[in-house]
Amino acid sequence: MYSKQIKVVNPTGLHARPASQLVSKANTYSSAIMLRRVDEESEYNVKSIVMLLALGLGQDEEAVLSAEGEDEVAAVNELAEYIESLTE
């Protein structure tokens, strides 16, 4: 398993459109990919729009992105970069 701490910088958080794009990107990887708030144990499947919207990450929240599988490092690094680059 590989994980990385990230920060949501998007002023509107991880809302529907960026969450949908994140799900599309996540589904290109074979690894299981999960996201959770830093201070919580509950993990949410990044390949599910319903789960991401349920997580409801807002601006300036920190989370841990993790993956397990053959492409886990690439998945975490590329998706973390995507999340941290959202500014709309």
Active-site residues: which are they? 15
Distance CA(79)–CA(70), nearest Å, equals 15
What does the block give as tokens for 55?
Answer: 């997580």
| DSSP strand pairing (2-7 vs 44-45) | unpaired
Torsion sign across C-alpha atoms 11, 15, 69, 36:
positive
| b/e map 50-69, b = 16+ CB within 10 Å | ebbbebebeeebebbbbbee
